[in-house]
A and B are shown apart, each in its own frame.
Chain A
Amino acid sequence: MGRLRKDQFHLLLIKTHSLTGLIPVGAFLVFHLAANSLRTVGVWQYKLSIDLINNLPFLIWIEIIFIYIPILFHSLVGVYLSFQGKLNVHRYNYGRNWMYTLQRLSGGVIFAFLVYHMGTTVVPKLLAGKEQFEAAPFLISVMNQEFQTLGGRVIYMVGIMAATFHFANGLWGFCMSWGILVGAAAQRNASLIFILFGLVLTVIGFATVVEFSMNPIEVQATVPESF
């Protein structure tokens, strides 16, 4: 009975890790990159999206339950999983073994990037005075600063690449571990489609970085101060 419990826990842990990678963490990544790419569409469109999100009721709870806890859970289990195996791609130099290796390394890069990204955006936002606080002008000026230097741009591009790779390859891993892809040809074809998907996500992310870097903007508060 004791052994059974431990095995059941293990199964649940790994399956939940796999599922959280897709939903909500992966879904959030897609949404996040897409929402920010509104920056390339136009200033008011981008501002509108920030206003919409930041005026959602119970925003902080939505973020904690659907974003922060799942990311933390997926990251911690991911780190644990990364230490279970022993990389051997130098000896067995095959494409999929590279993907296996990069899946683990990119997880580490994402983690470091998230600590930085949260530290420069979410933390100052939460620390800012609540009186007449408007997210859009605040966050846009933070992002202008982030993209002022070449170093900042590189950090974001590396973070985006790590995340899109990890998610695209993770989708393939998800389809493998849940037995959605079985035949060798199906596995190969799906990996091509996922590579394409990953590239599209990367382009969306990079376009936003380029737009911010080339063309910093300033916006006024939506609600006039006298309101």
Chain B
Amino acid sequence: MEDKTVIIKIRQQDDPDSASYWQSFQVPCRHHENVISCLQEIQRNPVTLDGQAVIPVTWDCNCLEEVCGSCTMLINGRVRQACTALVEHLEHPVVLEPMSKFPVIRDLQVDRTRMFENLKKVHAWIDIDGTHDIGEGPVMSDSIRAQRYALSECMSCGCCLEACPQFTRDNTFLGAATFSQVRLFNLHPTGALAKEERLEAVMGEGGITDCGNAQVCVEVCPKNIPLTESIAEIGRQTSLKMIRDLFQK
């Protein structure tokens, strides 16, 4: 096993505005090795395939167990987490690219601020006591709790946005993860106090109507979040609100 090697081809970029370029590295391939440990190997010995010593490749990672989402990148053209991409299971050479729908900071690191901004836009939190006491939280049924648990597993990795044909660099589409969070917080008895505000936030340009139902999001979500049910549920809530508003406003 020890003498096997793997070639890793990486799309690199020195800063947010410069052009990208490709470099290949050859690293030893151990049993059960993941893409992160290959990147660590390159960091220890940053010499390209043709023997040139270069600056080590930059990437993001944190938990190394697919719960933080930070090591998300394109591996052989598909978006996924590098920590759970086992090299033995991949086609060789392994091609790594930064996600294409977010601005690159450097090499494989991207800036996912847009996701956080989208969560802020839709009030993706629950208000608790402010200047006045809003009382005890109501009881929640176990089935609602179970539904919310599945939705709460979102780690904002951005896979669902990278793979979505409707989410592009030059539009304002909020994307599946954001809609799913609207559903999560609207399902909470106290969170539902801001339900109308959340729905209004997804009823404009870039909102729920801009989903084309290609359903790629649900195929690539590593947490198996029922994104297409969330999208349909928010479609229902916004449609009913639209009809209600038409007669009441």
Contact = CB atoms under 8 A, between A and B. Distances in A.
Interface of A: 3-4, 6-8, 10-11, 14-15, 18, 81, 84-89, 91-92, 94, 96-97, 99-101, 103, 172-173, 176-184, 187
A85 B168 CA distance: 7
Interface string B217-238: 0011000001011011111111
B51 to A, nearest CB: 33
A176 B205 contact: no
Chain A interface SS verdict (over half):
helix
A161 to B, nearest CB: 21
B105 interface: no
B209 A14 contact: yes
A194 to B, nearest CB: 13
B166 interface: yes
B49 interface: no
B155 interface: no
A100 B210 CA distance: 13
Contacts of A85: 165-166, 168, 212, 214
23 contacts: A7-B204, A7-B207, A11-B207, A15-B239, A84-B210, A85-B212, A86-B165, A88-B163, A92-B163, A92-B219, A92-B220, A94-B215, A96-B214, A97-B216, A177-B211, A177-B213, A179-B232, A182-B229, A182-B232, A182-B233, A183-B229, A184-B226, A187-B228
Given A85-B166, A100-B214, A178-B235, A184 B207 contact: no
Given A86-B168, A173-B213, A177-B209, A91 B78 contact: yes
Contacts of A184: 226, 228-229
A181 B232 contact: yes
A10 B231 contact: no
A179 B239 contact: yes
A116 to B, nearest CB: 27
A92 B216 contact: yes
Given A172-B213, A183-B229, 19 more contacts: A11-B204, A14-B209, A18-B209, A81-B212, A84-B168, A84-B171, A86-B165, A92-B163, A92-B216, A96-B215, A97-B215, A99-B214, A101-B214, A177-B209, A177-B211, A178-B235, A179-B236, A182-B233, A187-B228
A189 to B, nearest CB: 14
A184 B168 CA distance: 26
B126 interface: no
A42 B205 CA distance: 51
A100 B213 contact: yes
Interface of B: 77-78, 163, 165-166, 168, 171, 203-205, 207-216, 219-220, 226, 228-229, 231-240, 242
A16 B78 CA distance: 35
B209 A15 contact: yes
A99 B208 CA distance: 19
A17 to B, nearest CB: 9
A84 to B, nearest CB: 6
A87 B212 CA distance: 11
Given A11-B207, A15-B209, A85-B212, A97 B165 contact: yes
Contacts of A4: 204
A206 B228 CA distance: 35
A131 B130 CA distance: 80
A22 to B, nearest CB: 13
A97 B165 CA distance: 9
Nearest to A104: B212
A176 B165 contact: no
A188 to B, nearest CB: 10
Nearest to A5: B204
Cβ-closest 9 pairs across A and B:
A179-B236, A7-B204, A100-B214, A179-B235, A96-B215, A14-B209, A85-B165, A10-B205, A85-B166
Contact of B166 (A11, A84, A103): A84
Nearest to B78: A91
A176 B229 contact: no
Given A176-B235, A178-B235, A11 B213 contact: no
